Structure 1
Amino acid sequence: MKITLRGKNIEITEAIEEKVGEKLSKLDKYFIVSENVEAKVLVRTYPYGQKIEVTIPTEYVLLRAEVVDQDLYNAIDLVIDKLEGQIRKYKTRLNRKSKDNKLAFNLASIEPLDDEEEDVLVKTKTITPKPMDMEEAIMQMELIGHSFFVYRDTETDAISIVYRRNDGDYGLIETE
């Protein structure tokens, strides 16, 4: 697995690099072709602790986990545990579907979750995205008290989704 490691408000030392590399290498066994997999790791320092974000895009699934902890090395351990949990959950769901699923993982090396509950869809909504610009969409989202809002961008005529990020800022998802 290739690793891209960046730091914000923190210098990435050799010790941090080694720890991240050692822990992420444990995930190699889960991927069919681990050389084609790239993990993007971002380490940040905040007054309340250290944050590590790991994103591993594969052809069929996106793995992403983040952890905040006072101890960076503990945060690294915890984020790897989260990623392994996501992989096991994905395998369990694939086994339940028992269809010809597209795979990004070496399923033989993944222990399925025994105690995972079935996900249940509790509500379905049909919407017609209204034309507006991003600023208006943010205002609409705030007015209705949601964490995201779907709209048709007046400039591109594409469906877009504006959302509130964990850091309090806004994000934008644009469709093609």
Structure 2
Amino acid sequence: MQIAVTFRHMEASDPLRAYAEEKLERVKKYIEEPIDAQVVLSVEKKIRHRAEVALVAKGITIKGSEETNDMYAAVDAMVDKVERQLKRYKEKIKNHKPAAGRERTVQKTVFAAESIDEGRGEPAIIRSHSFPVKPMSVEEAVMQMDLLQKEFLVFTDDESEAINVVYRRKDGNYGLIIPQTS
């Protein structure tokens, strides 16, 4: 776990840095490595002690901040807040486990562009790969796509059992392709 602690409007303190690092170590059990944590400890108007953190790990970003009149209490509250967010996230993933035996397999094939451009009868296949398509809800598909840092995800809708595609649009929103059945 990489932890960077920054002090703003206050003296750098090794005990406070060690305390923040020690407290953040307990969130490791909720997310997979590698974890990058940016901690900012600041004092505003000599009475407001603020602790902020941004955790980045394998496609997920969690942010938390807390403000009190004691820096150690602010660090504790900030870590508690981040830990609650991670617990909720972990539960959400655990509750979206697909039903066993309902998976489909899809084949992905990559063709050589030259073979298509030249107009030959059969395009040249560069690579072919089969992978399971798991049944899930649209919300879970978007979450999985974000976690995997992909531009699109093929999945089986858990209600209709039809193959759908969710994709990231250029404006930052998400699109959903649902095939029509006649």
TM range (shorter): 0.5 to 0.7
**Higher Cα Rg, which structure:** 2
Structure with the largest fraction of strand: 2
Q: Deviations over 1:14-73 (max 9, x none)?
A: 11111011101111222322xx21100011111241011100012221110000000000
What code does the residue aligned with 2:60 have?
V
Q: Counterpart of 2:44?
A: 46
Question: In structure 1, how many angstroms separate the alpha carbons of the residues matched to 2:79 and 2:59?
Answer: 20
When normalised by structure 2's length, the TM-score is 0.52
**Runs of 5+ unmatched residues, structure 1:** 105-157, 161-176
Is 1:13 matched with 2:13? Answer: yes
Runs of 4 or more consecutive aligned structure 1 residues displaced over 3 Å after TM superposition: 99-104
Alignment of 1:25-174 (within 5 A): 25-33=25-33, 36-47=34-45, 48-99=47-98, 102=144, 159=171
CA contact (8 A) 2:31 2:57 kept: no
Question: In structure 2, how many angstroms separate the alpha carbons of the residues matched to 1:92 and 1:32?
Answer: 15
Name the SS of the counterpart of 2:81 in structure 1: helix
When normalised by structure 1's length, the TM-score is 0.54
Name the SS of the counterpart of 1:50 in structure 2: strand
The size of the alignment, in residue pairs, is: 105
Change (3 A) 1:20 1:6: same
Question: In structure 1, how many angstroms separate the alpha carbons of the residues matched to 2:171 and 2:89?
Answer: 28
Q: Counterpart of 1:113?
A: none
Name the SS of the counterpart of 2:4 in structure 1: strand
Instruction: Report how far residue 94 of structure 1 moved.
Output: 1.4
CA contact (8 A) 2:53 2:65 kept: yes
Q: Counterpart of 2:4?
A: 4
RMSD: 2.3
Question: In structure 2, how many angstroms separate the alpha carbons of the residues matched to 1:11 and 1:5?
Answer: 12
**Runs of 5+ unmatched residues, structure 2:** 99-133, 135-139, 148-169, 173-182
